[in-house]
Amino acid sequence: MFRFLENLVDPYGPYDEVDAPPRKLWPFLKSYSQPFKKVFIWAALLSLIVAAVEVGLIYYMGRVVDLMSSGEPSQVLEQYGLELFLAAVFILVMRPLIQAADVGILNNAILPNYGTLFRWRAHKHVLRQSVGWFENDFAGRIANRIMQAPPAAGEAIFQVFDAITFSVAYIIGAFILLSEADPRLAIPLVLWMMLYACLVSWTMKRVGPASKASSDARSMTTGRVVDSYSNIHSVKLFAHHEGEVAFAKEAIEKTRQTFAREMRIFTIMDVMLVTLNGLLIVGVVGWAIWLWAQGSASVGAVAAATALTLRLNAMTGWIMWALSSFFRSLGVVSEGMETIAQPITLVDVPDAKALELTDGVVEFKALTHHYGRDKGGLESLSLRISAGEKVGLIGRSGAGKSTLVKLLLRFYDPEGGTIEIDGQDITRVTQNSLRHVTGMVSQDSSLMHRSVRDNILYGRPDASEAEMIEAAKRAEAHKFILDLSDPEGREGYDAHVGERGVKLSGGQRQRIGLARVILKNAPILVLDEATSALDSEVEAAIQDTLYGVMEGKTVIAIAHRLSTIAHMDRIVVLDDGKIAEEGTHAALLAKGGLYAGFWARQSGGFLNTDAAE
């Protein structure tokens, strides 16, 4: 039974992905709720039936009181015994079955699957965002919104069918029951409902915004705390413990204040609710007693009115909290939408095809990119790299080297100009096909918090164990990998490397990153300070490997180490976003220009690119 309900909706089923999700709350929730339409209809119907049964029971208890007052016990039992027996059977058998169907749909079909579907689709959408999008926010805040919004959406859906639908049906049923007993009994109920609606309206107008502000403050706190933890080495190195505590305290205090303001609303609501419920009890029960005293209402009607009023009194707090929870959850979803509903700005064009690599010719044509600013980046840069050519990029910090590589990998779209690979504009091909033909070893080889094996196989998941080990050996990583272990007792290639690879040294991370790229064996290779974290001995040991990896590939290498730059087919010197010089190492030295100046000021095998011209 449970498995049947849990499988009514597949949260991982196919759906039409959109680049620009709805930015308004209700259309946004509607788009996520499409697979649940039939389940929602059943949930609503069952909620109405449950409410009708509850009101019917109160009505029947009033009838039982009237039956007991209609004659001698033996006479009443003889005349109405079968009716009472059938009522008992309904209460013992049918009522639990109806309730089981209602809670089963809610607890087993909707709640586990709705939050899962929401989180799955939200995560897929966020992963499609560009690198630049991630660079503009806290990773902790993004993750917090992905984690907070789905259960909040599930809670809102739950309250719709568990409380709101039920309570509306119950109040309507109570009105009908009191009207049938005596139409005048419905008057205080209607007056109470009007006042109650005013209180609900007052509360809900304030709960949503207050909850959104509170949720936003919590996300900010999470972002700051995670930022401190992720950069714990810098915190310790610069002795900024107190500064980080103060930085987090500011966000924590804002969270406390926003939450306190939210709770003020609920305190006022509770006090007003108790007052209104007192008016309801006195109004309905007092009037029922007065009508009984006038002979206009039976004892059963008074009993039913009393039971119904006391039940409503108990329910109103629950209804109000359910409504508050509903709007509070919507506030959390609204806050999460600031991340989840952001449109994908860097997308494949509608007719994008896979990149067809023939030779590996890379050409930059009048490339301009300033990251939306007036300066920095690249300015009308044109450069052609022939198939199999090895080109070294050199220049001062901020000259545009990394920008050129980011644009080649299409982490950003250029503000002007084009990049072509074998004559194909990279903005017209699929991003995945572009990155499949490109391998990159970066200065900061960030690793996943997974095993060494998983990290190397990230380059080519279908590679064999032997191929993976061979790649590690070529990267001079095999020996130290065999000596690795983690706190869980995993060793060698099974050892986990910690978040971003923090359990390894910089050189070890870089060698695993290199092994990953060797395994990928992409025809276009980008080396961004690929050996910067290696000591001279290790670098010398893998030089032959690096040149072997480069063989037959189109290579772009950013490096300050002369051992890497000097042997390139061509060296391109960037300055202020433009090509200042280009040629072979010997030709540039003979020219006596910018490159020769860097060479003259070399220190320890590095080009002193920060020196003045």
Tens-place pLDDT, residues 518-545: 999 899 999 887 665 555 666 666 666 6
For 232-257, how does the pLDDT look when each residue is reduced to its tens digit (9 = 90+)?
A: 767 877 788 888 888 889 989 999 99
pLDDT band of 481, cuts 50, 70, 90: very high
Dist CA 187 CA 176 (whole Å): 12
Mean predicted lDDT score pLDDT of the chain: 84
Average pLDDT of the segment spanning 312-339 = 77
Q: Which of 412, 441, 442 is nearest to 426 (CA)?
A: 412
Q: Distance from CA of residue 238 to its chain's centroid?
A: 32
Q: Distance from CA of residue 206 to its chain's centroid?
A: 26
Choice between 166 and 382, residue whose per-residue pLDDT is larger = 382
Dist CA 318 CA 220 (whole Å): 31
Q: What is the per-residue pLDDT for 385?
A: 94
Dist CA 315 CA 478 (whole Å): 67
Percent of all residues in the chain with a pLDDT value above 70, rounded to a whole number: 93
Compute and round to an integer the Cα radius of gyration of the chain: 35
Q: Does pLDDT of 206 surpass 80?
A: yes
Residue 471 is inside which H or E element, if any? helix 465-474
When mean pLDDT is compared across 2-11, 85-94, 299-308, the lowest value belongs to 299-308
Dist CA 208 CA 185 (whole Å): 35
Q: In the chain, what's the furthest Cα-to-Cα distance? A: 124
Token pair of 315 as six digits: 């329910």
Token pair of 569 as six digits: 């087919």
Helix (H, G, I), strand (E, B) or coil at 579: strand
Q: What is the per-residue pLDDT for 608?
A: 52
Q: What is the per-residue pLDDT for 391?
A: 93
Q: What is the per-residue pLDDT for 178?
A: 73
Q: Which domains, ranges and CATH numbers included, belong to the chain?
A: 9-340 (1.20.1560.10), 353-437+554-613 (3.40.50.300)
Helix (H, G, I), strand (E, B) or coil at 532: coil
pLDDT band of 368, cuts 50, 70, 90: very high
pLDDT band of 180, cuts 50, 70, 90: confident
Q: Which of 189, 177, 163, 167 is nearest to 58 (CA)?
A: 177
Average pLDDT of the segment spanning 87-101 = 91
Q: Residue with structure tokens 């290696």?
A: 534
Residue 424 is inside which H or E element, if any? strand 424-425
Rounded (10°) CA dihedral 85, 90, 93, 94: 160
Q: Could you tell me if 330 and 408 are in contact, meaning their C-beta atoms sit under 8 angstroms apart?
A: no
If one counts every other C-beta atom within 10 angstroms of the C-beta of residue 8, the result is 16
Q: How far is CA 543 from CA 492, 513, 514, 529, in A?
A: 25, 15, 12, 13
When mean pLDDT is compared across 197-201, 300-304, 457-461, the lowest value belongs to 300-304
Average pLDDT of the segment spanning 337-353 = 88
| pTM for the full predicted model | 0.74
Token pair of 195 as six digits: 């006042």
Average pLDDT of the segment spanning 226-236 = 79
Q: Which of 200, 333, 336, 210 is nearest to 263 (CA)?
A: 210
For 132-144, how does the pLDDT look when each residue is reduced to its tens digit (9 = 90+)?
A: 888 787 777 888 8
Q: Which of 14, 103, 92 is nearest to 50 (CA)?
A: 103
For 102-139, how does the pLDDT look when each residue is reduced to its tens digit (9 = 90+)?
A: 989 988 999 889 989 999 999 999 988 888 888 787 77
Q: Does pLDDT of 459 surpass 60?
A: yes
Given the DSSP bridges, would you call strands 416-421 and 424-425 parallel, antiparallel or unpaired? antiparallel
Residue 196 is inside which H or E element, if any? helix 186-230
Token pair of 65 as six digits: 């009181």
Rounded (10°) CA dihedral 228, 233, 238, 243: 10
Burial class (CB in 10 A: 0-12, 13-18, 19+), 367: buried
Given the DSSP bridges, would you call strands 570-575 and 390-395 parallel, antiparallel or unpaired? parallel
Q: Does pLDDT of 97 surpass 90?
A: yes
Q: How far is CA 455 from CA 470, 494, 513, 537, in A?
A: 15, 10, 8, 24
Dist CA 225 CA 251 (whole Å): 9
Q: What is the per-residue pLDDT for 457?
A: 93
What is the DSSP secondary-structure string of 258-289?
A: HHHHHHHHHHHHHHHHHHHHHHHHHHHHHHHH
Q: Residue with structure tokens 């920008």?
A: 403
Q: Could you tell me if 181 and 371 are in contact, meaning their C-beta atoms sit under 8 angstroms apart?
A: no
Eight-class DSSP state of 444: S
Dist CA 315 CA 47 (whole Å): 15
Full strand arrangement of the beta sheet holding 378-385: 378-385, 362-369, 416-421, 424-425
Q: Across the chain, how many H-helices and E-strands are there?
A: 23, 10
Residues with Cβ < 8 Å from 188, sequence gap 6 or more? 279, 280, 283, 284, 287
Q: Does pLDDT of 39 surpass 90?
A: yes
Token pair of 345 as six digits: 């700005």
For 266-325, how does the pLDDT look when each residue is reduced to its tens digit (9 = 90+)?
A: 888 878 888 887 887 888 778 778 878 877 777 777 777 777 777 777 777 677 777 777
Q: What is the per-residue pLDDT for 604?
A: 44
For 379-427, how does the pLDDT look when each residue is reduced to its tens digit (9 = 90+)?
A: 899 999 999 999 999 888 778 888 898 899 998 899 899 999 999 999 9
When mean pLDDT is compared across 2-16, 276-290, 360-374, 570-584, the lowest value belongs to 276-290
Q: What is the per-residue pLDDT for 611?
A: 41
